[in-house]
Amino acid sequence: MALEQTLVLLKPDALQRGLIGKVVARLEERGLQLVGLKMLKLDAKKCEEHYAHLVGKPFYPGLVSFMTSAPIVALVASGPEAVKVVRDMCGPTNARNAAPGTIRGDYSLSTQYNIIHASDSLETAHREVARFFKKEELFSYERALDKLTAAADEKK
Q: Could you tell me the smallest distance in angstroms from the CB atom of residue 153 to ligand IDP?
A: 30
Tell me: does residue 112 bind ligand IDP (CB under 6 A): yes
117 is catalytic: yes
Tell me: does residue 68 bind ligand IDP (CB under 6 A): no
Which region, judged by CB under 6 A, interacts with ligand IDP, from 1-9, 28-36, 41-49, 106-114? 106-114
Which region, judged by CB under 6 A, interacts with ligand IDP, from 95-103, 110-118, 132-140, 146-154? 110-118
H or E element in which residue 72 lies = strand 72-80
Please check whether residue 74 is in contact with residue 40, taking contact to mean a CB–CB distance below 8 angstroms.
Answer: yes
Single residue of 25, 39, 40, 54 touching ligand IDP by CB under 6 A: 54
H or E element in which residue 86 lies = helix 82-90
CB proximity list for 110: less than 8 A, separation 6 or greater: 13, 95, 96
102 or 114, CB closer to ligand IDP? 114
Q: Annotate each residue in 82-121 with x if it binds Mg ion (CB under 5 A) or - if it does not, as one string.
A: --------------------------------------x-
Three-state DSSP at 39 gives: strand
Beta bridge partners of 9: 74, 117
Dihedral of CA atoms 88, 74, 45, 59 in degrees, nearest 10, equals 40
Residues that bind Mg ion (CB under 5 A): 120
- Report the catalytic residues: 117
